[in-house]
Structure 1
Amino acid sequence: MKHQHWIRSAAIAGVIALLTTGCSVLGTGKKADIDAPPTTGAEADVKTTSAAVTIDMIDDNSSQMTVYVKDAKGFVAPLSLGLPKSVSVAKTTLEYMVDGGPVASLLPSGFEALLPKGTKVISLNVTSDKRAIVDFSKEFLTYDQQNERKILEAITWNLTNFPTVEKVQLRVDGKDLKEMPKGKTPLDTPLARSMGINLEKAEDAEFGQSTPVTLYFLNQNDQNYKYYVPVTRLVKRTDNVAKAVVDQLIKGPDQKKGLASVLNAATEVKSINPADALITVDFSNKLLGADQKAPEDALKSVILSLTENTGFKQVQIKVDGAVKFTSSDSTQNYTKPVARPAHINPTKL
């Protein structure tokens, strides 16, 4: 299925190298186009005036933007914050991923920025082949080695949120960075979203015979702020990625890692049907809770996970073949297809 091309083109051998030797996956798979059609030109993805970038205005001086940071359990997670309006949106988000910077006062309890203190984003330019070239100051190299992989994930997933970016190339003081200096992660190939995030392997999967799927599970900080964490899990090799995604959501997170399930283990899938830009998932009534309502957290996770992995722009959820069912959030209409949200994990401090 063409919508699944970035998953099948991901370098599985690279994933194996990461999990067995500590090396990074530097895949070149493409990000699904879930936003407006990209514009052209070197700066297209970083301008708020670009048709490719959609931002929500918080007030006259700020906009809703997504940054990737580390939570208290060590997961890399997206947060949508109200940041100052800027001509270069992508550059601004990177600047707000610097430890000790202005983002510190905006982060919920337990979260911390991953880019080393003092790091400056000298420039960010996008080439015609959708490669974002980021030039950092030398302070970027002062990171903690245990965060090396997390830093690369955060930068890559942050920038590939923009539809005009599919690959990321790093520079320091104008010179291409060929490898990360502490953990020796190679950077001779541009980073891409197919490198995964918060990687893990299913127990029944075998190295060299697996497919990566990114799943959105729940976490919660000590102030009861709930948020989704993307986890890329290697599963048994399959061409039916959509089914694998829903099956793994039902299976739930690795219990040792402290994330919460979004679908109960009794959930049954009656069918999954892709068509054009829409994928339809029909659950049995076991999806419903004791109150006969579909849990909102579960529905959002299904939408996030399916649009992330398959490239379909919208998800239609049914229960026993019907689009009319009651969800735990009365503000969201699920009788019609639902698109992936523009911003994940919005915060209100």
Structure 2
Amino acid sequence: MKRAIIKGVSGAAVLGLLLSGCGFGNNEAGQEMDSPQIDYIDEGTDLEMEAGNEVDGTSEEEGAESEEGSAEISEETVDREIYLLDEDGMVVPQTLSLPKEEGALRQALEYLVIDGPVTQMIPNGFQAVLPPGTEIDVHLTEDGTAVADFSPEFEEYPADKELSILQSITWTLTQFENVEEVQIRINGYDQEVMPVNETPIGDGLSRSNGINLETGNASDLTQSESVSVYFLSQKGEEVYYVPVTRRVDREKDQMESVVEELLEGPEHESSLLSDFRNGVELTEEPTVEGGVVSLTFNDQILSELEGTAISNHVLNTLALSFTELEGIEEVAVSVEGTDEVLTTSGEVLAEPVSRPAQVNTGEF
């Protein structure tokens, strides 16, 4: 297992891909074929989402405000996770502060376009994924499906980027609490396959389809399921979290599988790193109550402050990985034989750890 040697840095699979696909232009084909009727809801509908991940919109009445009021709103920003490609070709979330405006779903995807609005904000070593000039519209259905409608420029991407594009679109949109699945259209029409490499697509994509897929040792996909865990990547002084999807035994407890994959660490040929030291083990079976998973480890997990504290990166990778599981919102970590667990800062870890509000902000 490769372990990241990081000091003084604060913590901030072959799967069947499903999808369908968009409305730009009124060519003859568009006049001869009708898209299926879908009932959409306003992106701005309040569906009790977490702060920072709401799909915000503006009604016509709200739009008829004074120029001064409009100027004030345009200066507001909101943090969004935009899934970009790093130097190793991994699809990675980067938290960017975007102007707060209506049509948050559409806006998030617009920041995936090469030479688009992300150009002045993109971190060093990262790149956008959608072809230049791609125009986007997004509609949200009542059942939580975001229908992403792309202009024909969407078809002009390298074949080897096809899966990365699917993953980037899906994970960027499903950061919003009211988006469960994503459908893709091109110029208003559903697609049976992706346009370049002909990856089969169907009724919808979700996070269960995975990201940065690894098949591992899973030979029988029917007897396995996917879990997504987070590792680290380090480029110079920059450290960031990278999600990876692996296939695990369907018969095993899913929570134990997440811990096992984290402790196994990145694949040997991978550039990814782990901050778990060798010898870390669970000493009790994981339990869940009220959205909190409780994990008890041996003292090998205490790798900081001369073996008395747990790494912030370990806490964050646990929180990021477990909150990808349905129904888990926080992670409570305890150490066998230790009354008080310390963090890297020397503070007592007295409360369960929640998912970091901002992932990969570029601030260290």
* TM-score band, normalised by shorter chain: 0.7 to 0.9
User: Deviation at 1:193?
Assistant: 1.4
What is the CA–CA distance in structure 2 between the aligned matches of 1:41 and 1:196, rounded to whole Å?
26
CA 1:195–1:323 in 2, change beyond 3 Å: closer, same or farther? farther
Consecutive unaligned residues of structure 2, counting only runs of 5 or more, are 1-12, 21-38, 54-73
What is the CA–CA distance in structure 2 between the aligned matches of 1:60 and 1:324, rounded to whole Å?
44
SS in 2 for 1:191: coil
Contact 2:40/2:139 (8 A) holds in 1: no
Q: 1:326 aligns with which of 330, 335, 342?
A: 342
Matches within 5 A, 1:111-122: 111-121=126-136
User: Deviation at 1:50?
Assistant: 5.8
User: Deviation at 1:322?
Assistant: 5.0
Counterpart in 2 of 1:296? 312
Contact 1:135/1:173 (8 A) holds in 2: yes
CA 1:86–1:50 in 2, change beyond 3 Å: closer, same or farther? farther
Task: Indicate the larger mover: 314-323 or 239-248.
Answer: 314-323
User: Deviation at 1:128?
Assistant: 1.1
What is the CA–CA distance in structure 2 between the aligned matches of 1:318 and 1:334, rounded to whole Å?
9
User: Deviation at 1:326?
Assistant: 1.3
CA 1:324–1:91 in 2, change beyond 3 Å: closer, same or farther? farther
Which letter does structure 2 place at the counterpart of 1:42? I
Contact 2:131/2:154 (8 A) holds in 1: yes
Alignment of 1:108 with 2:126, yes or no, is no
SS in 1 for 2:325: helix
Which letter does structure 1 place at the counterpart of 2:230? Y
CA 1:210–1:138 in 2, change beyond 3 Å: closer, same or farther? same
SS in 1 for 2:310: coil
- Structure index of larger Rg: 2
Render the CA deviation track for 1:68-116: whole Å, top value 9, x for unaligned. 0111001101110111121222221111111111212212211100111
Quick one: higher RCO (CA 8 Å, sep 6+), 1 or 2? 2
Alignment of 1:55 with 2:23, yes or no, is no
Counterpart in 2 of 1:229? 242
Q: 1:256 aligns with which of 252, 255, 269?
A: 269
What is the CA–CA distance in structure 1 between the aligned matches of 2:140 and 2:339, rounded to whole Å?
42
Counterpart in 1 of 2:254? 241
CA 1:278–1:144 in 2, change beyond 3 Å: closer, same or farther? same
What is the CA–CA distance in structure 1 between the aligned matches of 2:358 and 2:40, rounded to whole Å?
24
Alignment of 1:174 with 2:188, yes or no, is yes
Counterpart in 2 of 1:162? 176
What is the CA–CA distance in structure 2 between the aligned matches of 1:306 and 1:348, rounded to whole Å?
24
What is the CA–CA distance in structure 2 between the aligned matches of 1:189 and 1:197, rounded to whole Å?
18
Contact 1:201/1:235 (8 A) holds in 2: no
Counterpart in 2 of 1:347? 362
Task: Indicate the larger mover: 131-140 or 320-329.
Answer: 320-329
What is the CA–CA distance in structure 2 between the aligned matches of 1:111 and 1:168, rounded to whole Å?
24
Contact 1:27/1:192 (8 A) holds in 2: no
Q: 1:317 aligns with which of 327, 333, 336?
A: 333
Counterpart in 2 of 1:148? 162
SS in 2 for 1:157: helix
User: Deviation at 1:342?
Assistant: 3.0
SS in 2 for 1:86: coil
Render the CA deviation track for 1:309-345: whole Å, top value 9, x for unaligned. 24311111111265621111457x6311122223321
User: Deviation at 1:150?
Assistant: 0.5
Counterpart in 1 of 2:42? 43
CA 1:301–1:129 in 2, change beyond 3 Å: closer, same or farther? same
What is the CA–CA distance in structure 2 between the aligned matches of 1:266 and 1:63, rounded to whole Å?
41
TM-score for the superposition, normalised by structure 1 = 0.82
> How many equivalent pairs are there?
311
Contact 2:278/2:300 (8 A) holds in 1: no
Counterpart in 2 of 1:71? 86
CA 1:296–1:176 in 2, change beyond 3 Å: closer, same or farther? same
Report the aligned-residue RMSD. 2.5
What is the CA–CA distance in structure 1 between the aligned matches of 2:102 and 2:339, rounded to whole Å?
41
What is the CA–CA distance in structure 1 between the aligned matches of 2:326 and 2:50, rounded to whole Å?
21
Which letter does structure 2 place at the counterpart of 1:70? L
TM-score for the superposition, normalised by structure 2 = 0.79
CA 1:43–1:264 in 2, change beyond 3 Å: closer, same or farther? farther
Counterpart in 1 of 2:209? 195
What is the CA–CA distance in structure 2 between the aligned matches of 1:264 and 1:65, rounded to whole Å?
32
Q: 1:186 aligns with which of 191, 194, 200?
A: 200
CA 1:330–1:346 in 2, change beyond 3 Å: closer, same or farther? farther
User: Deviation at 1:51?
Assistant: 3.6
User: Deviation at 1:133?
Assistant: 0.7
SS in 2 for 1:308: coil
Task: Indicate the larger mover: 136-145 or 334-343.
Answer: 334-343
